[in-house]
Amino acid sequence: MSRLQGKTIFVTGATSGIGKATATAFAQQGCRLLVCARRQDRLDALRQELTQAGAAAVHTVVLDVQQRTAVETALTSLPAEWSEIDVLVNNAGLSRGLSKVYEDDPQNWEEMIDTNVKGLLYVTRQIVPGMVARNRGHVINLGSTAGHLTYANGAVYCATKAAEKAISEGLKLDLMGTAVRVTSIDPGMVQTEFSEVRFRGDADRAAKVYQNITPLQAEDVAEAIVWVASRPAHVNIHDILMTSIDQGNSLVFNRRT
């Protein structure tokens, strides 16, 4: 029997990409899935998929993590049977644009900072006190190779992922003396809707990101997330930095011609 069976898992940004793959992977372990995203129609479809995948139960919440009041209201009013979160996966995140800082649209900065940094903090602030009170739990944050090495035209996105790395490290230190674990999962290039979001729906430009290269798939990252969550309770995996075989870091790629 899986160590995770029956555990309550909360995944933010769960209706696409890494979030959806992660929710599905936990469902296959027989977990109870609390999932949030901004679109009700996608959540409705996801509920059915997670149930079919083996989830013990599914509860959906329409939520934009950028909105602090909405996060507080939604997470303080969860049904009692969903209020004790065993694993929080702070997956909601995005990138906007690929421009020089001095030429970029400040709206891009607002969205990235509000989602990748402040959204992560808002959700964490609501969930972690309960974990501390119960003296058990696991926070898994989605970082990036971009948080380890800055690349040109991506300064603000890289900064948000460097912030995620620092927040994860600091949270782990703050939780010393408790049995609550913290992990940062830092993938490189992953073939998801990420690039289409970055380029605001420009599918042709997004496709070029993955040309002549083998990227990670969302399922690869989900597998790593489930693995760290399923370690024995006394084992904490602090971080996993992962790329495909064709990526060395944020700057070095093997593109086949």
Determine phi and psi for 163, rounding to 5 degrees.
-65, -45
User: At 13, is the secondary structure helix, strand, or coil?
Assistant: coil
Q: What is the reported pLDDT for 256?
A: 85
| C-alpha span between 30 and 233 (Å, rounded) | 18
**pLDDT tens digit string along 238-256?**
999 999 999 999 999 999 8
Q: Which residues are catalytic?
A: 157
Q: What is the reported pLDDT for 1?
A: 62
Q: How confident is the model at residue 144 (pLDDT cuts 50, 70, 90)?
A: very high
Largest CA distance in the chain: 56
| C-alpha span between 157 and 25 (Å, rounded) | 27
Q: What is the reported pLDDT for 195?
A: 65
Determine phi and psi for 128, rounding to 5 degrees.
-65, -35
**pLDDT tens digit string along 188-242?**
999 987 667 676 777 777 677 888 999 999 999 999 999 999 999 999 999 999 9
| C-alpha span between 119 and 208 (Å, rounded) | 29
**pLDDT tens digit string along 156-196?**
999 999 999 999 999 999 999 999 999 999 999 999 876 67
Q: How confident is the model at residue 89 (pLDDT cuts 50, 70, 90)?
A: very high
Q: How confident is the model at residue 128 (pLDDT cuts 50, 70, 90)?
A: very high
Q: What is the reported pLDDT for 208?
A: 79
Residue 84 has pLDDT above 90, yes or no: yes
Pairing of strands 57-62, 8-12: unpaired
Q: What is the reported pLDDT for 210?
A: 84
| C-alpha span between 180 and 238 (Å, rounded) | 12
What does the pLDDT average to over 94-109?
94
DSSP string, 78-112: S-GGGS--SEEEE----------GGGS-HHHHHHH
Burial string for 152-166 (b: 16+ CB within 10 Å, else e) reads: eebbbbbbbbbbbbe
Token digits of residue 76: 């303080």
Token digits of residue 142: 């989605």
Give the start-to-end residue ranges of the domains of the chain: 8-242
Of 136, 141, 131, 107, the C-alpha closest to 12 is 141
The fold of the 8-242 domain, in CATH, is Rossmann fold (3.40.50)
| C-alpha span between 56 and 78 (Å, rounded) | 18
The percentage of residues in the chain with a pLDDT greater than 70, rounded to a whole number, is 97
CA end-to-end distance (rounded Å), the chain = 46
Angle between helices 120-134 and 155-174 (to 10 degrees): 10
Q: What is the reported pLDDT for 143?
A: 98
Token digits of residue 85: 């979160």
Determine phi and psi for 151, rounding to 5 degrees.
-115, 160
Token digits of residue 137: 């739990």
Q: What is the reported pLDDT for 43?
A: 97
Residue 101 has pLDDT above 70, yes or no: yes
Q: What is the reported pLDDT for 16?
A: 94
Q: Do 129 and 172 contact (CB within 8 A), yes or no?
A: no
